Amino acid sequence: MSLPNMSALALEEHAPTPTEGWVTLDEARARRMNHDGNVEVLTQEEYVSSALYEAYGQWYFAVRRRFPNEQHVWEYDVYDAQGLWTAVRGRGILPLDRSRRIWREDYDLLAAKFAPTAPQPQWYHLLHTNKYAIGIHENNDPENGRLLRVEFPPEKESQARTVWYEGPKGQERKVRAVFKVNNGVVYFAGPPGEERIVSKVWTSGDVHSYAGPQGQERVVRIAPYKRRRPEGGYTNIYEGPRGQERPVRREFLTGDVEFLEGDDKRTMHVVRRLYANGRMDHYRGPIGEEYLALRLEPDGTITYYRDGAIMRKAWSEVGEPRADAIVRRVGPDGTVLV
């Protein structure tokens, strides 16, 4: 079993995330952008395919907006590149949002093309970089509003996520992280700064549960696991420190329970199975080669089987063990029946 990568949940600096930069429009995308009379804001002309636009020595440039939309999806404004450079080279102010400056990475791309030898302006240090996650505050007021969520740009598609917070201003605590690719949700518990992972819910319905303090969370159960089995799936119960968890018990949806032993998950093998009706099967043999050795019935009857005669995998498929595999059967009162 591959456990989820916890390091992807840290609120840390990331490598630069392209805001899209130089963008190529095909005819279909250009038509969509012209929908409802929208035009390129600087030229006031309809968008055309990049093949046609670049034939006239012009280019399009896309800038990611400051905040994602209500669906937590990043949106972009597409400009005429030369016009955008003319607009931002003075103070870095964006044409469509006069309240903020262009991303530093986008300024670098434009400057490299239109003014490669020009020195950096004095206000260059004021440009925001998209290396960092973006905090969304109540009423969009970082000074007075409490932190609601943090949006992590998709440096890698699998890491794009939204982390949600609860609590009053100055005491916000992380409560969950929603990954954008698979909509998996990680839940946290604990006071601010000490939030620990308690569970992760996959879109498949599997739930991973964890125990331990922040940074030492270890998986303790996964449910349901391998739901397509004839038994209807089961919950795996784990023991061991983080990174060395091993399954020690399987709790089936039917009510059956399997017990495992071994030094690590590569050697964990089934040693017995307790059925919902009270019957207990005991097994011997290494992982993948377990065979039925003894069966204890609810009434106390014990049946012994020849070594290797009834393999666990085969038994799960064929049902009742063959009679010729029985070595001895002893009744509840000690009477030898077979």
**pLDDT at position 64, please?**
86
**pLDDT at position 185, please?**
92
Mean pLDDT (the chain) is 84
Rounded to a whole number of angstroms, the CA Rg of the chain reads 31
Place of tokens 């039917």: 254
Strand partners, 249: 237, 259
Retrieve residue 197's tokens.
Answer: 């992972």
**pLDDT at position 19, please?**
60
Round to whole Å and give the CA distance between 266 and 11.
33
Cis previous bond, 68, omega within 30: no
Round to whole Å and give the CA distance between 193 and 283.
47
Which DSSP category does 311 fall into? Answer: B
Q: Are 168 and 146 in contact (CB under 8 A)?
A: yes
**pLDDT at position 80, please?**
95
Q: Are 320 and 312 in contact (CB under 8 A)?
A: no
Sites in the chain below the pLDDT cut of 70 = 1-19, 71-72, 131-132, 153-160, 181, 225-232, 314-320
Retrieve residue 89's tokens.
Answer: 């080279």
Name every residue whose Cβ is closer than 8 Å to that of residue 127 and which is 6 or more positions away in sequence: 92, 101, 102, 103, 104, 107
Query: pTM for the full model?
Result: 0.61
Distances 24 to 62, 109, 130, 228, 240 between C-alpha atoms, Å:
9, 15, 21, 45, 52
For residue 207, give the H/E element and its range: strand 207-211
